[in-house]
Amino acid sequence: MPRVARKLSETGIYHVIFRGVNRFNIFEEDKDYEKILEIISDLKEKISFDIYAYVLMNNHVHLIIKELELGEISLIMKRILTRYAGWFNRKYDRSGILIANRFKSEPVETEDYLLTLARYIHQNPVKGGLTSKIDSYK
């Protein structure tokens, strides 16, 4: 059965989610979180996109991304995920898939939804029981 085509956003803004295969951790220590942020920062210099909000959980990530060139969300995510998975696998002397399936993305078409989504993303560590206060989650 073919995959359902990705819905394209008229605004270029997407809520992107990706998680570890079998819900395994994709971050084991602080350096891993720092590395994916470094990769994103580096790629922002090469590909046009902005990050409006994000949260890095142990086994999954939420991003609100605005592609500045319409239709580039797949390229942006391919570069982020390929670089991170390669680095992670080398660091932990492992091979194989790190990220489950393809990343999920939902278009964000209104400012109201963008604000609601940003709140949801930032509250994720509290709802996940990782912290009691949003401000204290690193």
Domains (range + CATH), the chain: 13-125 (3.30.70.1290)
Scored b (16 or more CB within 10 A) or e, 47-62 reads eebeebbbbbbbebbb
Q: Is the dihedral of CA 88, 89, 91, 92 positive or negative?
A: positive
User: What is the distance between the alpha carbons of residues 51 and 63, in angstroms, rounded to a whole number?
Assistant: 7
Residue type, 52: Y
Q: For the chain, give percent helix, strand, coil, nearest 5.
A: 45, 20, 35
Residue 2 pLDDT > 80, yes or no? no
pTM > 0.85: yes
Q: For residues 123 and 98, what is the distance between their CA atoms, to the nearest angstrom?
A: 25
Share the mean pLDDT of the chain.
Answer: 91
Asked whether the predicted pLDDT for residue 35 surpasses 70, the reply is: yes
Mean pLDDT along residues 110-135: 83
pLDDT confidence tier of residue 128, bands split at 50, 70 and 90: low
Q: Is 123 helix (H, G, I), strand (E, B) or coil?
A: helix
